[in-house]
Amino acid sequence: MKVSVRVPATVANIGPGFDCLGLAIPLYNTITIEETVLPGTGVEINVLANEDVTDELSLEHIPMDENSIIYKAVELLYNSIGQSPSELKITIHSEIPIAKGLGSSAAVVVGGLLAANQLLGCPADEAALLSIATEVEGHPDNATPAIVGGLVLTSTEEDGSITYRKLPWPEEWVLTLCVPETELATEISRSVLPAEVPIGDAVFNAQRMAMFVHALHTKDDNLMKLALKDKLHQPYRMKLAPGLEKLMQNLKHEESVLGTVLSGAGPSVLVISKKNNLEKVKNIIRDTWNDLNIRVQLYNMPIEQNGAIIVSE
């Protein structure tokens, strides 16, 4: 028996929502797990990747043995019901760019968990899957929207459980995702963050998060322009994401642009704007990257409201 699961990419943080905001977008990884019949073969992991989203260097981010995060997630699920993984063949069809701040590792973890859960007869409910995925990932801002879809506000509780709520997204607001050719490992992007931050910066982000939620529900353009600011992670990561600061400068006077934020740990950047004047905004984005001599792929896309889904058994 084998099961395939399709999982969307995710954009985490979205400005002020460090480690607690995330949204799903329509780029996907498909994870297939098959129980093999040959005893003693152990785990076999294969990665099939499109040339336009990965290369040999980026494939080094995916261990292909029992040290892989996908195997660790599957093993935790099996262990939670008192079992150990049998001989498994795991195939990752990767269409989400790797090391770009788009939740590629979360998609792999979530896909492996859901496929293994299906093979086992679905012993784990959504709450259990969220907890295991977050334990492997370290934080829930990518894992949660990968499982449930949409724009999600999420947190990890003291007992390891995950609390989340889906938030609305106005149709009038457009996402333009900028994926540069440069790569940035999450570990490196995390390493530049301070262990402590000034109380004023923490208060600033708390204010912006409150503005963010209210602006969504009221479709308040001007409030969202204030909300999409951050002092907890983006200032420290600016030097690792060469397009972010320049895009912020070049777009700050465009009336239709609500904000420019780092996608997850970067280096991808998300520009949020109104539908009117979109072509002018895209031209400014292209010119900015060209001036930096960095090749970039641009995607205009909606939020993916569906999370991971089983596509075959």
Give 9's pLDDT tier (boundaries 50, 70, 90). very high
Dist. CA 74–CA 77, nearest whole Å: 5
Q: Are residues 23 and 157 in the same domain?
A: yes
What DSSP character marks residue 266? Answer: S
Residues 6+ apart with CB under 8 A from 34: 1, 2, 3, 88, 89, 90, 91
So what's the pLDDT on residue 142?
A: 96
Overall average pLDDT of the 225-247 stretch: 94
Give 228's pLDDT tier (boundaries 50, 70, 90). very high
Q: Are residues 118 and 73 in the same domain?
A: yes
Q: Which two tokens stand for residue 206?
A: 């708390």
Residue with tokens 């969307």: 8
| CATH code for the domain of 234 | 3.30.70.890
First and final C-alpha spacing in the chain? 7
The domain in which residue 16 lies consists of 2-167+303-312
Q: Is the pLDDT of residue 237 over 60?
A: yes
87 against 112, higher pLDDT: 112
Overall average pLDDT of the 218-235 stretch: 97
Q: Is the pLDDT of residue 41 over 80?
A: no
Taking residue 165's Cβ as centre, other Cβ atoms within 10 Å add up to: 11
Q: Are residues 40 and 180 in the same domain?
A: no
| CATH code for the domain of 162 | 3.30.230.10
Q: 74-82 long-range CB contacts below 8 Å, 24 or more apart?
A: 74/33, 74/112, 74/113, 74/116, 76/132, 76/135, 76/136, 77/113, 77/116, 77/117, 77/120, 77/124, 77/129, 77/132, 78/116, 78/120, 80/123, 80/124, 80/128, 80/132, 81/120, 81/123, 81/124
Q: Are residues 160 and 185 in the same domain?
A: no
Q: Which two tokens stand for residue 228?
A: 């999409």
So what's the pLDDT on residue 307?
A: 96
Q: Is the pLDDT of residue 81 over 60?
A: yes
Q: Between vectors from CA 41 to CA 39 and to CA 45, what angle results, nearest 5°? A: 140
Q: Are residues 99 and 57 in the same domain?
A: yes
Q: Is the peptide bond prior to 267 cis by the omega test (within 30 degrees of 0)? A: yes
CA dihedral of 5, 127, 270, 218, whole degrees rounded to 10: 130
Q: Are residues 183 and 250 in the same domain?
A: yes
Number of compact structural domains in the chain: 2
> pLDDT tens-digit profile of 126-151?
999 999 999 999 889 999 999 999 99
Q: Are residues 214 and 297 in the same domain?
A: yes
Q: Are residues 86 and 51 in the same domain?
A: yes
Q: What percent of the chain has pLDDT over 90?
A: 77
Q: Are residues 181 and 114 in the same domain?
A: no
So what's the pLDDT on residue 101?
A: 93
Of 183, 186, 114, 193, the residue nearest 146 (C-alpha): 114
Dist. CA 135–CA 137, nearest whole Å: 6
For β-strands 2-13 and 17-35, DSSP reports them as antiparallel
Dist. CA 158–CA 150, nearest whole Å: 25
Q: Are residues 18 and 62 in the same domain?
A: yes
**Of 48-57, 223-232, 234-243, 270-279, which gets the smallest average pLDDT?**
48-57
> pLDDT tens-digit profile of 140-192?
999 999 999 999 999 999 999 999 999 999 999 999 999 999 888 888 888 99
Q: Which two tokens stand for residue 290?
A: 């060209």
> pLDDT tens-digit profile of 92-124?
999 999 889 999 999 999 999 999 999 999 999
pLDDT, averaged across the chain: 91
So what's the pLDDT on residue 58?
A: 45
Q: Are residues 94 and 209 in the same domain?
A: no
Q: Are residues 10 and 137 in the same domain?
A: yes
Give the containing element (helix H, strand E) for 281: helix 278-291
So what's the pLDDT on residue 87?
A: 82
